[in-house]
Amino acid sequence: MNKEDYTNQDVFQFVIPSLVGILLLMTPFTYEGSTTVAVSVLSNWIYQGIDRVVPIPYLILCIITLSFLISIVGSQFKPKFLKEHPLLNEVGHISWFWMVVRAIGMLFAWLTAFKLGPEVIWSESTGGLILNDLIGGLFTIFLVAAFILPFLTEFGLLEFVGVYLTKIMRPLFDLPGRSAVDCVASWVGDGTIGVTLTSSQYEQGYYTEKEASIIATTFSAVSITFCLVVLQNVDLTDYFGFYYLTVVLSGICCALIIPHLPPLSRKSEQRLAHPEDLDGDVIPDGYSRSQWALRLAIRKAKKNGSVWAYFNRAIKTIVNLWLSVIPIIMAVGTMALILSENTEIFTWLGKPFLPLLQLLQVPEAQAASQTVIVGFADMVVPSIMAAEIQNPMTRFIIASLSVVQLIYLSETGAVILGSKLPVNLWEIFVIFIERTLISLPIIVLIANLIF
């Protein structure tokens, strides 16, 4: 396709769906007194509508049970109808390890839904929190995002933006320009949306193993809305401007440094596929940057403009997220919270950080050290624990650190583990520690300037 070969209709085929994606996923607005995005509002509406007919936790229970049954049937009996259905075969054909994880997730879900067995499993601070609150929200977020994400990924927006932002993303982070969209979608929308988008792009071959790993663990941040929740927990909402600036600055520092450290630095440059419209890094002779960006965008939009292809991709995404990711979140998230609530493991893991906090002269360092590692289980727990700390600067530091640490097993970490992204549990933990060590001195420095 030459630059003269496209019509106004071709341009509209790229522009209109892309604008819809930007408006629904990336444009914040005020709704009922809080800042949010349309995908979140739609998700809440759908959640309330479904929940009035069938309680969402019971639907999730059915999904987790179905996921385990498909994996057992697919792996052990290998029926013909599963083999011949690519999507079900992909969901069902898993290793023994992930089958055990799904079994644990199913067990936790049944015990929690009907409050059976030890209360430590189904209490409102462990399994109840995961099944009723966390996965309940993700259930509809996944549903809505599956139909809205293609507007960002399949109609040329990433190709168009990538040509321009490669000049920034390549020199700074050694990433393609299209990855900037992942970051924005995460920050104003939801971290799980960012992970889902990254996983989708990786599976299609637009990211290498290394790029996908860096983006998922560095740029798939929590939303602005969640930042407000964390700040409310520590009673410092008046400091939101300073707080958000602190999170952004320390997050950028982590993004500049951590990709050059193991395990991310050791990831390969292999791709799962090799799409023809791979990147806009090199602009051919005879094209300006804007002409080349538009050409790539229109070519992508024309290739994926079919309504059938759109619905087929959306349904595939929903099934994959529901059957592959939700059981992992139920199992890993519940186990992490059980350890956090009922053992001293995170307190003991936090002890090595006490000398560092004392060296940085953080007030109430002993109490603060207990919150450092607990964020690996769930991002909101440190801010809840910090509410009892008297010194406002220490509460500010804990609230900032818990967001910059980024990866937590009750949601983002579990979504990464449940996807095809090439990052395992040990690597997630190492990256979590690296983010903690790099960001903590920066956060403390900024906090000293504010308080």
| Tens-place pLDDT, residues 404-448 | 998 888 778 888 988 889 999 999 999 999 999 999 999 999 999
Q: What is the dihedral of CA 341, 342, 346, 348, to 10 degrees?
A: 150
Closest CA to 224 of 34, 419, 429: 34
What's the mean pLDDT in 242-267?
A: 92
Residue 307 placed within a domain: yes
* pTM of structure: 0.76
Beta partners for 30? Answer: 35
Confidence at residue 29, expressed as pLDDT on a 0 to 100 scale:
80
Residue 339 placed within a domain: yes
Hey, which of 40-44, 235-239, 345-349, 365-369 has the most confident mean pLDDT?
Answer: 365-369
Tell me the per-residue pLDDT of 206-218, one tens digit each, with 9 for 90 and over. 899 999 999 999 8
Kindly tell me if the per-residue pLDDT of 4 is higher than 60: no
Confidence at residue 433, expressed as pLDDT on a 0 to 100 scale:
95
Q: Residue 350: pLDDT band by 50, 70, 90 thresholds?
A: confident
What's the mean pLDDT in 110-138?
A: 91
Confidence at residue 190, expressed as pLDDT on a 0 to 100 scale:
65
Confidence at residue 440, expressed as pLDDT on a 0 to 100 scale:
96
What's the mean pLDDT in 363-388?
A: 86
**337 or 395, which is more confident?**
395
**Burial call 76-104: b when 16+ CB within 10 Å, e when fewer:** eeeeeebeeeeebebbbebeeebbebbbb
Residue 158 placed within a domain: yes
**309 or 223, which is more confident?**
309
Residue 181 placed within a domain: yes
> What is the 3-state secondary structure of the chain?
CCCCCCCHHHHHHHHHHHHHHHHHHHCCEEECCEEECHHHHHHHHHHHHHHHHCCHHHHHHHHHHHHHHHHHHHHHHCCHHHHCCHHHHHHHCCCHHHHHHHHHHHHHHHHHHCCCCCHHHHCCCCHHHHHHHHHHHHHHHHHHHHHHHHHHHCCCHHHHHHHHHHHHHHHHHCCCCCHHHHHHHHHHCCHHHHHHHHHHHHHCCCCCHHHHHHHHHHCCCCCHHHHHHHHHHCCCHHHHHHHHHHHHHHHHHHHHHHHHCCCHHHCCCCCCCCCCCCCCCCCCCCCCHHHHHHHHHHHHHHHCCCHHHHHHHHHHHHHHHHHHHHHHHHHHHHHHHHHHHHCCHHHHHHHHHHHHHHHCCCCCHHHHHHHHCHHHCCCCHHHHHHCCCCCHHHHHHHHHHHHHCCCCCCCHHHHHHHCCCCCCHHHHHHHHHHHHHHHHHHHHHHHHHHC
Report the distance separating Cα 374 and Cα 343, nearest Å: 11
Kindly tell me if the per-residue pLDDT of 50 is higher than 90: yes
Two structure tokens written together for 311: 């619905």
**62 or 418, which is more confident?**
62
Q: Residue 223: pLDDT band by 50, 70, 90 thresholds?
A: low
Report the distance separating Cα 154 and Cα 298, nearest Å: 10
Confidence at residue 336, expressed as pLDDT on a 0 to 100 scale:
82
Residue 206 placed within a domain: yes
Residue 153 placed within a domain: yes
Confidence at residue 189, expressed as pLDDT on a 0 to 100 scale:
58
User: What is the overall mean pLDDT for the chain?
Assistant: 86
Confidence at residue 390, expressed as pLDDT on a 0 to 100 scale:
92
Residue 262 placed within a domain: yes
Report the distance separating Cα 315 and Cα 310, nearest Å: 9
Confidence at residue 69, expressed as pLDDT on a 0 to 100 scale:
92
Cβ atoms < 10 Å from Cβ of 51: 16
Confidence at residue 182, expressed as pLDDT on a 0 to 100 scale:
75
C-alpha angle 257-435-145 in degrees, rounded to nearest 5: 100
CA 311 to chain centroid, in Å, comes to 23
Q: Is the distance from CB of 410 to CB of 191 less than 8 angstroms? A: no
Residue 346 placed within a domain: yes
Q: What total of structural domains would you count in the chain?
A: 1
Tell me the per-residue pLDDT of 143-199, one tens digit each, with 9 for 90 and over. 888 888 888 888 888 888 888 888 888 888 888 888 877 777 776 556 777 888 899
Kindly tell me if the per-residue pLDDT of 326 is higher than 80: yes
Who contacts 178 (Cβ-Cβ below 8 Å, separation ≥6)? 158, 159, 161, 162, 165, 201, 206, 279
**139 or 1, which is more confident?**
139
Tell me the per-residue pLDDT of 270-315, one tens digit each, with 9 for 90 and over. 999 887 666 556 777 778 888 888 988 898 888 876 788 888 888 8
Phi-psi region of 364 (alpha: psi -120 to 50; beta: other; left: phi over 0): left
**432 or 221, which is more confident?**
432
Q: Range of 32's domain?
A: 8-450
Confidence at residue 79, expressed as pLDDT on a 0 to 100 scale:
78
Closest CA to 37 of 149, 132, 131, 139: 149
Q: Is the distance from CB of 179 to CB of 161 less than 8 angstroms? A: no
Q: Residue 8: pLDDT band by 50, 70, 90 thresholds?
A: confident
